[in-house]
Amino acid sequence: MNVGVIGAGWAGLSAAIALHDAGHDVSLYEAGPLAGGRARRVPAAGRAPLDNGQHIMLGAYQRTLQLMRRLHRDPDSLLLQFGLKMRSASGDFELRCRALPSPWHAVAAVALAKGWHTSEKAALLKAMAHLRPGGWKVAPDRPLAQWLDEQRQPAGVVKRFWEPLCLAALNTPLADASTAMMARVLKDSLDAGRHASDVLIPRTDLSDLWPDHLPADITLHRHSPIQRINAAPNGYTLNGKHWHDALVVAVPPPNAKRLLADLPARPGTKRLLQHLDAFSPVPIATLNLILEEPWDALHEPMLMLDDQADPGRLGQWLFNHAVISNAPDRHPLISIVISNCRPENLTDRETAGRVILEQVCRQTARFGPMPKVAEQMLIIEKRATFAATPGLTRPDNHTPWDNLALAGDWTNTGYPAVLEGAVISGQAAARCIG
């Protein structure tokens, strides 16, 4: 079969590789200059490329790791891997998984956590124990803040555990976040083997990690936005000129709705288009600080920042690329992530950069002065994820049209908008073709 894939993000790329491996002829259409979608490099003259946002993976991301190996990309050398560790930059809190069988590695992490009272540890363990017997399922789904109130989670546990994990995994505030999706993340990370909760951070840029390494006979059309899909005899045409037996549409929901709206109506078409219209995009910002020299005293790859809602406290996680890359002389780069970033705080990029830098300097004072910043770049991905809210109906990969499938982290994967979800969805979409 001659299959067209619209969109070369991680979902579209995964679909293309799976289709190729199933023996189909595959053409990828990407509107931009690079494959990778929201997880790609941002080229820059005169310095090493940056990513369009800081991403991490987990040991539970088995589909992604298998895909890397399929493309002869070695996860052991390309990813820094360490046991889950939530350590505050200020040094007053630490939760670290231990070298024990699952789930005892997580139980020990809570029991031995630094910065909580015994009653707080007991409350968190009780909440976990409430979820596990039921297969980590929550019904009916409801806002995570409501569920935490029901479980009587102390303020310190909410601040140091639930809120950071919720923002990192769902990019959605506690008051709006789906408890069911949060529980799925916990199940697959904390209750799926000791290494499932390991943190994996790319040592290379996200495009080089694997999107740049497609099989040679997959045709990638860069700078090729698809404006319309037309039904044709036994297939589809794209922009009135590219004909394919089958299609995978792997673009964000608003783009997918626009492309599908003009196809002949089928049973279920109206319902699908309504579901595509229900997603709300949520931004993520990353402030990259290129230092004049390595920050030798900062030896942690990743630290939690205090993001209390007052001016100058916007960042939630700090990433130290000198340690991540294991090449401090070549990578004196610090990245600060602002999940669910509030547009009003980032309208003035210069001010936003200054207040976040002040936050980092205050909270990392125990590591000594930060070296001077040679260059800084604030990257805002306006549609980084979708709001992971209760009751959100997410489309399946199948559509009302024959041999036309959907792919994206926003499809019904059970996961929030994470890289593993995109890979799972792309592979599922490929199985719909044939």
Averages of pLDDT over runs of 10 residues in the chain (434 residues) are: 98 98 98 94 80 95 98 98 96 94 93 97 96 92 98 97 95 96 94 93 96 97 97 94 97 98 96 97 94 93 85 86 82 92 74 91 95 93 95 96 98 96 98 93
Q: Could you give the strand order of the β-sheet that contains 333-339, starting from the edge strand earlier in sequence?
A: 302-304, 317-320, 333-339, 281-291, 373-386
How far apart are alpha carbons 190 and 195 in whole angstroms?
Answer: 9
How far apart are alpha carbons 49 and 337 in whole angstroms?
Answer: 17
Q: How many other C-beta atoms can be found within 10 angstroms of the C-beta atom of residue 219?
A: 14
pLDDT value at residue 434 = 80
Q: What is the pTM of this model?
A: 0.95
pLDDT value at residue 331 = 76
Residue 5: closest CA among 396, 421, 397 = 397
- What secondary structure does DSSP assign to 125-138, as a single string? HHHHHHHGGGTT--
pLDDT value at residue 280 = 96
Which two three-digit tokens encode residue 240? 């009135």
- Domains within the chain, CATH numbers bracketed: 2-45+205-279+388-431 (3.50.50.60), 84-196 (no CATH), 281-386 (3.90.660.20)
pLDDT value at residue 208 = 95
